Amino acid sequence: MSRKISLPDFISSFNEAQKEIVESVDVFEDTRASIKAKKDKIIEAAEVIRDDYGFVIPIGGGAIDYPEENRMEMNYYLNNPDSDFIIIYRIPVDREKPVLPSMTQVWEAMSFHERETHEMFGIDFEGHPNLVPLLLPPDWKGGYPLRKDFKGEGVE
């Protein structure tokens, strides 16, 4: 969509047109929409968000840890230059087997954010072109510093 679209119009349009790939689309704040794709449609939904709705500017990405629920969530923040709102593309992650397809195949600029998330939360991004350490020392063996149960390097 190259025309300016309001948040309510986006929610209505996306919910109606993308029922087969989307679990939920909600208003998160006055200027943010939250989208959750069906588990087997993660890349397809991302391509629709980019190609059909113009969210071509990746702003950032990162994970949230919910140890009491034994899960994490990867969030991608996206902008359409013709809209006044941001999309938070939310993807549930199994905490015991944290693996997701890499969004670098949709938005190449997500590379840095996935590398950081891999290092800090231990999420593996399948298909990432360069999932090498970014922030921690090469000999780091202390676990994942941004998980809520992190105790410190070398602490078991």
Whether the full predicted model's pTM is greater than 0.75, yes or no, is: yes
Residue 121 has phi, psi (to 5 degrees) of: -120, -15
Band of pLDDT at residue 84, cut at 50, 70 and 90: confident
Q: How far is CA 135 from the centre of its chain?
A: 20
CA distance 150 to 44: 34
Is residue 118 classed as helix, strand or coil in its secondary structure? helix
Confidence at residue 113, expressed as pLDDT on a 0 to 100 scale: 97
Question: Does pLDDT of 117 surpass 90?
Answer: yes
Is residue 61 classed as helix, strand or coil in its secondary structure? strand
CA distance 35 to 17: 13
Domain made up of 7-97: CATH architecture: 2-Layer Sandwich (3.30)
Per-residue pLDDT of 58-68, as tens digits, reads 999 999 999 99
